[in-house]
Structure 1
Amino acid sequence: MTPAYFPILKAKDAEFKALSEAKDIVKKTMIPLFDIPKFNPELKRYQGSPHPKATFLDELSVAIKDVWSSMPLMFDSYHWQTPGDRTETGEHHLSYLYESLKSNGLNPIPVIGYDRWDDEEYRAGLKTITGSHTGLVCLRLDRYAFDDANDPEYLKE
């Protein structure tokens, strides 16, 4: 069945619960986009952790795996603190999450945020992913992209 529904979901408990209860026939019609929530280092479970951001992203990867199995999914960090933010290991948060999703047997589709493309670290993180990723990518446009469409060369760049 061809997917016809692309819900944008906060990667939080309520959305995971809703997806876990969705029927397989419904799941086959969608490719969800998981918006990774802001990392909160103040949460007690990350206190004392040597790699709290990496732990947070690994937990999200497992939570997604538990509800979505091997079907395609999109992921983005639109709400992340800064577009170029890195984990404690020095890896860009998006490339870290991509590898975590892949290692959990998932089929992740990276989302390229038009609004964040000017950030050099963000571009570098996405280039790390697209260097090995052979599948689809998603381009997430913001309202300013439509204004930029008046200058096709800029938009293409």
Structure 2
Amino acid sequence: MKTVYVPILKAKAGELSALMHLKGAAIEHVLPWFDISPINDDKLEKLSSQLFPPIEAYLSGVAAEISTVWKNRKILLDMPKWATNAQAEGGEHVLPFLRNELASFRVSADLVVDYVRWDDPVYANALRGAGVTGGCDFALRLVMDSDTVEELSEEELVLERLTDIADTLDFDPALVMVMIDFGDISNEKHTVPDLVSKSERAIDLLSRAGFKIFRLAGCSLPAFISQSIKTQNSTGLVVRKEMEAWRILIVQPGLDSLGFSDYGIRGPNAKETGGASNANGKIRYTIDREIFIARGYPLTEGLKGAQHQELARLVIKSGHWVDEKFSWGDREILRCSEGEFSGSSSDWIAIDTNHHIHSVVREVIEYRDLVAAKAARQQVKI
């Protein structure tokens, strides 16, 4: 089936559980893009006390965990927070090493090429080697930070680098997906019109380099929920600016095939490790164009994790809840509201992400159908 949605996810317990519980059309229309977290000091110390090389053991473990939920399927593999020259103990670059580990667990991985990181010859050679010896396919990631946006004005330089990437990796640009990635756009300086204009500029330039398959990505959720919902024990809505920009872009001539991506319910700058000392109880419930958030209070206080039961009841009473049949995540929200469990932070990442994926797949399909129907009516009138 055609890929409808490419979520950029951590290969963590919460996100993996969300994928494991996908059902119906969602699982067939989703292609996960895994952003693999670097090994942290605690994990490194623990693995160093064992017999196996710690980095290789860590990456092999990541591959095994992904395979438990996505065996015999394809993923996109990205390691943007690792050093461009990061190697496993045997001297192999971590990207092809992990790709080979995934293949051994029957997970097919296309490697992500980072346009910004291409300057490092070690990085470029590792990707080239993976293409030559592993026969892998690639996707291109264009990080739309301020430096990259400024560089887009130097068109000849950009076109030269894009040509070098395609020639070095020996791929046809027309067959390679480009992720136009705005990352964290929670700040008010990131407006929808700005996202649209920058996307148009990037797509125009990439098209001139022969690329034809584009996706727009961004995340409107900040690193900390308190930045969106200021008051404890309250609810609110966050506009999904990445979705608004995508809706505007796909109705423009030549952009009807533009794909949609985002970061699920955990943004690119969200904290990945640590205890619950500063974490608030929360449920992030995706709806069309927005995310409804029920925020509680620190998980170390009061009812601690049990506060999620009241938060679940708030979601159900909000008028936004679909029903328990919509997704596994929705069923878990109902179960929690009835006092059957409370759940940890990781559990709620799983629940919220699972609902989010189902919701986005439905929203994208329905909006595309609406746009196509409108275009058909206009053709009839002509």
TM-score, normalized by the shorter chain, greater than 0.5: yes
- Partner Cα distance (1:67, 1:154) in 2: 36
Match of residue 101 from structure 1? 102
Partner of 1:7: 7
What secondary structure, in the 3-state scheme, does the structure 1 residue paired with 2:62 have?
A: helix
- Match among 62, 69, 72 for residue 71 of structure 2: 69
Q: Distance in 2 between matches of 1:145 and 1:7?
A: 22
- Of 55, 58, 61, 1:56 maps to 58
Superposition deviation, residue 24 in structure 1: 4.5
Contact 1:148 1:155 (C-alpha < 8 Å) held by counterparts: no
Who is 1:85 aligned against? 86
Letter of the structure 1 residue corresponding to residue 160 of structure 2: E
Unpaired runs of at least 5, structure 1? none
Measured after TM superposition, the shift of residue 116 of structure 1 is 1.1
Residue 133 of structure 2 is matched in structure 1 by 132
Q: Report Cα offsets for 1:122-153 as digits up to 9, x if no partner.
A: 11211121113445310011124454442222
Q: Matched residues in 2 for 1:62 and 1:32: separation?
A: 16
- Structure 1, 90-99 or 140-149: larger mean CA deviation: 140-149
Normalising by structure 1, we get a TM-score of: 0.91
- Larger relative contact order (Cα-Cα within 8 Å, sequence gap ≥ 6): 1
Structure 2 distance, partners of 1:146, 1:85, is: 27
Aligned to 2:66, what secondary structure does the other structure show? helix
What is the aligned partner in structure 2 of residue 121 from structure 1? 122
**What is the TM-score normalised by the length of structure 2?**
0.39
- Separation of aligned partners in 1, 2:24 and 2:137: 22
Q: Is the 8 A contact 1:9 1:15 kept in 2?
A: yes
In our comparison, the structure showing a higher alpha carbon Rg is 2
Q: What is the CA-CA distance between 1:6 and the residue it aligns to?
A: 0.5
CA deviation profile, 1:54-113 (whole Å, cap 9, x unmatched)? 001000001110011111110110111x11110111110001001101111111111111
Instruction: Tell me whether 46-55 or 129-138 shows the greater mean CA deviation.
Output: 129-138
Separation (CA, whole Å) in 2 of partners of 1:8 and 1:76: 9
Q: Distance in 2 between matches of 1:142 and 1:72?
A: 23
Q: In the TM superposition, what is the alpha-carbon distance from 1:18 to its structure 2 partner?
A: 0.6
In the alignment, is the contact (CA less than 8 A) between 1:41 and 1:52 conserved in 2? no
Shift of 1:22: 0.8
The aligned counterpart of 2:32 is: 32
The percent of aligned pairs where both chains have the same amino acid is: 29
